Amino acid sequence: MRGMFLKIVLWFWASLALVALALHVTIIATSVPPEVRVQRFSDTALSGYGRRAVAILEREGVPALAAYLDGLERSTRIHAVLIRQDGRDASGHAVTPRVAAAAARAGDAGHADVEVNGGVALKAHRIDGADGQRWALVASTPIGLVRLLHDAPFAQLLRLVAVLLTAGVVCYPLARYVARPLATLRAATQEVAAGNLAVRVAPGLGRRRDELADLAQDFDRMAERIEALMTAERRLLRDISHELRSPLSRLHVALGLARQQAGEDQAPLDRIEREAERLNALIGQLLMLARLESGATEPACEPVDLATIVREVVEDADFEVKSRRRGVRITRACESVAIGAPDLLRSAVENVIRNAVRHTREDTAVEVAMRPRDPEHVVIAVRDHGGGVPESVLPHIFHPFYRVGDGRDRYTGGVGLGLTIVHRTIQLHGGTVRAANAPGGGLVVEMTLPAHTRTPSAPPKCYRRDPLT
């Protein structure tokens, strides 16, 4: 989500920066520099101001001239001085060398070019009096910060930095506003993928009324629908399994009565009994899966010696398959203790080992290894030497009722429940299960469980997971 957030920030930032840059270039290309504005103002106005000042001086005297020039400064911010041919102002006072020089240049050429110094533009214009005397009106006006920025070497960089900072300040909260619901939605999808169907998104978005809020509501409706369907499926599975137990029990009773009347012809009844046992085992698996899915089965919070469980299951399985030219052996062992239910953990280990025995080739042995993954976890790995599983279906073999295909019931307990129950059992104890094809052929199933160190300062930790999809 950080990538999306960063992209949104950069997109908005770059867009605003480009717009600001284009606007800046347009302003520079079309605007009139301050010198030109002062020049135009001087050429059109100073001549009129000067003639007016000379006329007032000749007609009304110096006090009236001073009043006129003061009014001009108040109304136009132009400070003007009327200079005589001798370089002094109309009242007889000396002037600064800069003003005197500008007046002298205007007396020779008729006007002086604009001179800018210290943020002040100065311009002089020659005025011919009625009596033939020449005057020079020297006017100055401040051009302020705009002119300083126009002339400063760092002006362009300063403008660019200002644009980028402004765009960043504006774009960051906007991008955050857009990206935050996406981050919330992503976290919710991860929760659903982990099995928590009770998660909802819309309450965390507050009072938003936009497309993202609509998406959050759609997600919540989808999650509610999935949760309802999964709950109904588990309830149906549990109810059907319970309902099948009663007719199956009556079938066993009827089978016993039939044996008493069948005499020596027991073969058909033996077949019926085997099928009934298979059906009974299937119902047991369904009930176990229903309990694990619903969270009704809690792992006992007691130490379990994993090494002992593995050793006992391996010995039993090896004894049973010797007549079928197969074997089961421990290639590596380590002492490790888990916290949970001994019966559930034994069933999970036994399920994986017996399925491996079923699919390993003749004259090969199923290999069982225990090793520490890190100080806090232990791995039980079971490898057979069969044909393996296609890579494309490996992620699905832990799903209920999933079959690999091609007439094989690889690691599915015949109906696709074996590894599902193993998966749920290991997760119930805070562990993980994974399957992979082994180099040289065969399948490896690894069960990783938290290892417990029995010390007074480390009390047993019990694990429980939420029901999974």
Three-state SS letters, the chain: CHHHHHHHHHHHHHHHHHHHHHHHHHHHHHCCCHHHHHHHHHHHHHHHHHHHHHHHHHHHCHHHHHHHHHHHHHHHCCEEEEECCCCCECCCCCCCHHHHHHHHHHHHHCECCCEEECCEEEEEEEEECCCCCEEEEEEEEECHHHHHHHHCCCHHHHHHHHHHHHHHHHHHHHHHHHHHHHHHHHHHHHHHHCCCCCCCCHHHHCCCCCHHHHHHHHHHHHHHHHHHHHHHHHHHHHHHHHHHHHHHHHHHHHHHHHHHHHCCCCHHHHHHHHHHHHHHHHHHHHHHHHHHHHCCCCCCCEEEEHHHHHHHHHHHHHHHHHHHCEEEEEEECCCCEEEECHHHHHHHHHHHHHHHHHHCCCCEEEEEEEEEEECCEEEEEEECCCCCCCHHHHHHCCCCCCCCECCECCCCCCCCCHHHHHHHHHHHCCCEEEEEECCCCCEEEEEEEECCCCECCECCCCCCCCCCC
Q: Which residues are catalytic?
A: 242
At a CB cut-off of 8 Å and minimum separation 6, what does 110 contact?
Answer: 125, 126
Nearest to 215 by CA among 195, 186, 193: 186
Burial category of 225 from C-beta neighbours within 10 Å (exposed 0-12, middle 13-18, buried 19 and up): exposed
Residue 237 CA to residue 293 CA, distance in Å, equals 11
Residue 331's pLDDT is 92
pLDDT at 378: 93
Strands 364-374 and 326-332: parallel
350 vs 166, residue with greater confidence: 350
Task: Output the pLDDT for position 299.
Answer: 56
Same domain, yes or no, for 324 and 282?
Answer: no
Tell me the chain's radius of gyration from C-alpha atoms.
Answer: 47
Q: Which of 296, 315, 342 is the last residue of a domain?
A: 296
332 and 292 share one domain: no
Residue 466 lies in a domain: no
Cα separation, 220 vs 411, whole angstroms: 35
445 has a pLDDT exceeding 90: yes
First and final C-alpha spacing in the chain: 25
Identity of residue 297:
T
205 and 286 share one domain: yes
Q: If you average pLDDT over every residue of the chain, what do you get? A: 77
* The pLDDT of residue 120 is above 70: yes
Query: How far is the C-alpha of 121 from the C-alpha of 41, rounded, in Å?
Result: 11
Parallel, antiparallel, or unpaired: how do β-strands 115-117 and 79-83 relate? unpaired
84 shares a domain with 141: yes
Q: How confident is the model at residue 182 (pLDDT cuts 50, 70, 90)?
A: confident
**Which of 41, 22, 23 shows the shortest CA–CA distance to 33?**
41
Residues 326 and 405 in one domain: yes
455 within a domain of the structure (yes/no): no
Tell me, yes or no, whether 460 lies in a domain: no
Residues 206-234 pLDDT 10s: 777 777 888 888 888 998 888 888 777 77
Domain ends where: 186, 205, 231? Answer: 186
Contact yes or no for 119/147 (Cβ under 8 A): yes
Q: How wide is the angle at C-alpha 45 spanned by C-alphas 39 and 49, nearest 5°?
A: 130
Residue 268 lies in a domain: yes
Q: Are residues 147 and 164 in the same domain?
A: no
Kindly report the number of other CB atoms within 10 A of residue 442's CB atom. 21
Q: Residue 392 pLDDT > 90, yes or no?
A: no
Residue predicted with more confidence, 413 or 269: 269
Examine the fold and report which residue of 151, 176, 207 is the final residue of a domain before the chain moves on. 151
Cβ pair 348, 426 in contact under 8 A: yes
Q: Would you say residue 382 has pLDDT above 90? A: yes
Question: In this structure, are 255 and 331 located in the same domain?
Answer: no
The answer as to whether 465 is a domain residue is: no
**Structural domains of the chain, count:** 4
Highest mean pLDDT among 77-91, 244-258, 287-301: 77-91
CATH number at residue 426: 3.30.565.10
Which residue type is seen at 200?
A: R
Q: What is the pLDDT of residue 28?
A: 64
The two structure tokens encoding residue 290: 């229903």
Question: 201, 246, 207, 237: which is closest to 220 by C-alpha?
Answer: 201
pLDDT of residue 457: 44
Task: Give pLDDT tens digits for 47-77.
Answer: 888 888 888 888 888 889 889 988 888 877 7
- pLDDT on residue 423: 87
Question: Do residues 313 and 440 both lie within one domain?
Answer: yes
Query: Which residue range forms the structural domain that includes residue 435?
Result: 302-450
Domain shared by 374 and 445, yes or no: yes
Give the residues across from 377 on adjacent strands.
374, 450
User: What pTM, to 2 d.p., does this model score?
Assistant: 0.49
Residue 56 resides in a domain? yes
438 in the same domain as 322 = yes
Q: In the predicted model, is pLDDT for residue 406 greater than 50? A: no
Answer yes or no: do 287 and 329 share one domain. Answer: no
- The answer to whether position 456 is within a domain reads no
Residue 9, pLDDT above cutoff 60: yes
| Predicted confidence (pLDDT) per residue in 239-258, tens digit | 776 667 677 777 777 877 77
**Residue 113 is assigned to a structural domain of this protein:** yes
Query: HSE on the CB side for 390, CA within 13 Å?
Result: 8
Same domain for 159 and 97, yes or no, is no
Residues in the chain: 469
Per-residue pLDDT averaged across 170-197, rounded? 81
